[in-house]
Amino acid sequence: MTLSSHPYIPNTQHDRQEMMRAIGVASLEELFEDIPAGYRNPTLDLPPALSELGVKQDIERLAARNAHVGSHRSFLGGGAYNHFIPSVVGAMLNRGEFLTCYTPYQAEVAQGTLQVAFEFQSLVSQLMQMEVTNAGMYDGATALAEAALMACRTTGRSRIVLLDTISPYYAQVVCTYAEPQGLQVETTSALTADVAGAACLVVQSPNFFGYLEDMASLEKKAHADGGLFVVSMDPTAMGLFKPPGAYDADIATAEGQSLGVPLSYGGPYVGLFSCKEGFLRQMPGRIVGRTTDTEGREGYVLTLQAREQHIRRQRATSNICTSTHLVALAVAVHLATMGKQGLKDVATACYHKAHYAAQRIAALSRFALPLEGVFFKEFAVTCPIAPAEINHRLLERGIVGGLDVSNLIPNGMLIAITEMNSREDIDGLVDALEEVTR
């Protein structure tokens, strides 16, 4: 081991000598003498080095083995969806001022960062028709789990009731958050839900299977005994259906991925979190506010910092620390670009294309739609053979099939249709389903 220079370590030989002198060693050999000699510089079995061009070509070759929405027709949903992203979203995200941003620990210095968070909060509040929105959560699942914990803090109760049509993945996250704190989590159907004494009733609409719940009756049931009505929703559906604020939700959450965020093989995403103003002090995460300074100039500040990094740990409402600011910026730019009419157009296209697909698939001889009701852009079908086998055969034809939900519906598959699926894509899926199940 020598003191020779290294291209990725900025310390000079003089710097190293000074550090060794400070800790009382004469050489690097002395510094590492406690490590057996045979383990200090082991021979690494590495292939020959490649040029930059060679590395780029090798990575491209490996990436080409992936099946993705750019190379295949996709009908996969279950919580993350392929929607169109206007080019302005990427143009804004790739600006140097935003691309490297992280949680500002002296936040008021970063006025542009705070302004973006404020715009994000304002747009999400309008979308959900809720009074207060925070600066973002990790994702839709953790946002819903935090909402359930918030309901328990607000009501002083320890029982959480989940409707059995919420995402099973979201339900697992709720249990992961709740159980270590001694909170009781129950799952029930809409018809038999007993919320007496519960902190909240947790509902997803459109639900995991894509269908709308009877929110008016569920709201009354949640509030009948002083519990809170906690909702998880698809923000894209708000272009066509009533938002949570319209049916008196106390806390509303969502996965923001469908609003300008690419699928990215599962993340990073951003959770949307809104509530009634009366519950503001129990809201997790951070809230950015707009104010004026002593000279009357407009400025932005962190209005609420209920994290354990800022206040006594036992009083913190959340330990969420990593900033989802960059992804929230994508959501804000997307919402501002699309506008009310754009969101409505996307939602309408999803709705009609999904219903066209469902009608065509239901007409196949051995397929059926097992659920009744109004669905948005996703629906369940029962298949004549195992969905896993169907998806394998579809992939060979350049199609990413639906989500296998056989553990919930016998031979069930969840199919998602968005504005990105053309009529030709849908007809191709129907023809392929018929062919692979003969």
All domains in the chain, ordered by first residue: 87-335 (3.40.640.10), 339-436 (3.90.1150.10)
Return the CA Rg of the chain: 26
Residue 319: pLDDT band with limits 50, 70, 90: low
Residue 42: pLDDT band with limits 50, 70, 90: confident
The tens digit of pLDDT for each residue in 242-294 reads 999 999 999 999 999 999 999 998 989 999 999 999 999 899 888 899 999 88
How would you classify residue 418: left for phi > 0, otherwise alpha for psi between -120 and 50, otherwise beta? beta
Question: Which pLDDT belongs to residue 269?
Answer: 95
Count other C-beta atoms under 10 Å from residue 72's C-beta: 17
Q: At 343, which amino acid appears?
A: L
Residue 37: pLDDT band with limits 50, 70, 90: confident
More confident residue, 58 or 112: 58
Report the percentage of the chain scoring pLDDT > 70. Answer: 93
Is residue 174 within 8 A of residue 202, CB to CB? The reply is yes
Question: Which pLDDT belongs to residue 187?
Answer: 96
Spatial distance between the Cα atoms of 110 and 329, rounded to a whole number of angstroms: 15
* Average pLDDT, integer, range 225-242: 97
Question: Which pLDDT belongs to residue 193?
Answer: 85
More confident residue, 320 or 410: 410
pTM (two decimals): 0.88
The tens digit of pLDDT for each residue in 64-120 reads 999 999 999 999 999 999 999 999 999 999 988 787 656 666 677 788 888 999 999
The tens digit of pLDDT for each residue in 347-356 reads 999 999 999 9
The DSSP bridge pattern shows strands 200-204 and 159-163 to be parallel
Question: Which pLDDT belongs to residue 103?
Answer: 61
Describe the strand order of the beta sheet including 412-416 as a list of residue ranges: 378-382, 412-416, 403-404
DSSP code, position 383? -
More confident residue, 231 or 193: 231
Element (H or E) spanning 274, and its range? strand 271-275
Element (H or E) spanning 300, and its range? strand 298-305
Question: Which pLDDT belongs to residue 1?
Answer: 45
* Average pLDDT, integer, range 325-350: 96
Distances (CA, A) of 11 to 17, 19, 24: 10, 10, 18
Distances (CA, A) of 6 to 13, 15, 40, 51, 55: 10, 13, 17, 18, 21
Is residue 157 within 8 A of residue 227, CB to CB? The reply is yes
Count other C-beta atoms under 10 Å from residue 370's C-beta: 13
DSSP code, position 416? E
Question: Which pLDDT belongs to residue 376?
Answer: 98
- Say whether pLDDT at 331 is over 70: yes
Is residue 81 within 8 A of residue 258, CB to CB? The reply is yes
Distances (CA, A) of 144 to 140, 294, 357, 384: 6, 39, 30, 35
Is residue 258 within 8 A of residue 235, CB to CB? The reply is yes
The SS3 assignment for 288 reads: strand
Spatial distance between the Cα atoms of 302 and 118, rounded to a whole number of angstroms: 10
Is residue 415 within 8 A of residue 378, CB to CB? The reply is yes
Question: Which pLDDT belongs to residue 184?
Answer: 97
DSSP code, position 35? S
More confident residue, 38 or 226: 226
316-349: buried (b, 16+ CB within 10 Å) or exposed (e) per residue?
bbbebeebbbbbbbbbbbbbbebeeebbeebbeb
